[in-house]
Amino acid sequence: MKLTKEQKQEIESQQSQSNTTKRVTVPKLEQILFEAIPILDHGFIRVIDYMGDDTSIVQAARVSYGKGTKQVSTDSGLIKYLMRHWHSTPFEMCEIKYHIKLPIFIARQWIRHRTANVNEYSARYSILDKEFYLPSNKNLAAQSQNNRQGRGDIIDGDQAKEVLSLLKSDAERTYENYEKMLNQRYDGSIIDEKKSGLARELARMNLTLNTYTQWYWKTDLLNLMNFLRLRADSHAQYEIRSYADAMLDTLKRWVPITYEAFIDYRVGGTEVSSKGKAVIQKLIQNKKVSLQDSGLSKREWNELMEAMNLKDRLI
């Protein structure tokens, strides 16, 4: 990971602040506030700001539910109850803001989560960094034969070298042309004093999708968990999962009780349809049950068996 001189100075300035506040603060999250946590080869995430903690969720729930919550004796019990029964609005009372540096192709995947406030680095106004994402050998894989949006076997040897060479040379070549069209080098120097550079908003169209961009991403706790539930999953693309895994650690620091409930009910749990529930009930009762009489499709059946760790029943 490479930080610019200006970014390092900004981080030092932010971390040297000493402010007093009457707002809720979380010591473990404060420890890493503004710190750049490295992701991939040149990326990072930084927690820039946050609002609320576990007690904010409990407070909001007790306002909305009134006397009914008095049956829950502890904050932990209440948060688990809210998570277990999919009560969402109390989790919306907490917010967090990240500064994220990521490859453009991951940003395009990420932006599909349309439940955050996003402000991206403007390539119409500034020149993009001369940095590109190149996967490591262990993450260079062929197209999966049974999953149109997944990876298959690892590519190695000469084929891997050729792919990495193509990715690097294409990125470097298009960036060199980007500089030529701008008539300006990455370091700010002018290439030809007699020429006018192409508008930045046009020159950027030539760049490869592994070029790095940056943005501020602010969201509430509910939608952060919705994002992490999908992107920290083992089936998610490796690159975006790398960011999600690091964000999981910030979630644990920020709201540890909610994190525990989230891992238990969302990450470690599973959803079961009424037909799937009937299958499980028969299995518990040692009754015979098959795909044909379950009412499930083959995919649904296999997903249920995998979730229940009954791999000997996969079809």
List Cα–Cα distances, 224 to 100, 113, 123, 217, in angstroms: 14, 10, 27, 10
Q: Specify whether 23 is catalytic.
A: no
| Selection from 260, 271, 262 nearest residue 223 by Cα | 262
Pairwise CA distance, residues 74 & 91, whole Å: 17
In the block, which residue shows the tokens 């539930």?
A: 229
Catalytic residue among 231, 241, 266, 313: 231
In this structure, what token pair is assigned to residue 181?
A: 């069209």
* pLDDT recorded at residue 73: 56
pTM confidence score: 0.88
C-alpha dist (Å) from residue 85 to 57, 59, 130: 15, 18, 48
Count the Cβ atoms, other than its own, within 10 Å of residue 249: 13
Instruction: Report the CATH architecture of 1-133+210-269.
Output: 2-Layer Sandwich (3.30)
Residue 119 bridge partners (DSSP): 216
132's CB contacts (< 8 A; 6+ apart) are 42, 103, 167, 168, 171, 172, 175, 208, 210, 211, 212
φ/ψ of residue 248, rounded to 5:
-60, -40
- The closest alpha carbon to 58, from 21, 20, 24, belongs to 24
Residues ≥6 apart with Cβ < 8 Å to 142:
151, 152, 153, 154, 155
- What stretch(es) of the chain map to CATH 3.30.1360.170? 1-133+210-269
Q: Which amino acid, one-letter code, is at 275?
A: K
* Bridge partners, residue 118, by sequence: 217
Looking at residue 98, what is its pLDDT?
98
Q: How far apart are CA 91 and CA 87, in angstroms?
A: 8
pLDDT the model gives residue 72: 44
Full pLDDT tens readout for the chain, 315 residues: 677 788 888 888 888 888 888 888 999 999 999 999 999 999 999 999 999 999 999 999 988 555 554 544 578 999 999 999 999 999 999 999 999 999 999 999 999 999 999 999 999 989 999 999 999 888 887 776 766 667 777 788 888 889 999 999 999 999 999 999 999 998 889 998 989 999 999 999 999 999 999 999 999 999 999 999 999 998 899 999 999 999 999 999 999 999 999 999 999 988 899 999 999 999 999 999 999 999 999 999 999 999 899 988 998
**Residues found in the chain:** 315
> Residue 305 in contact with residue 291, Cβ under 8 Å?
no
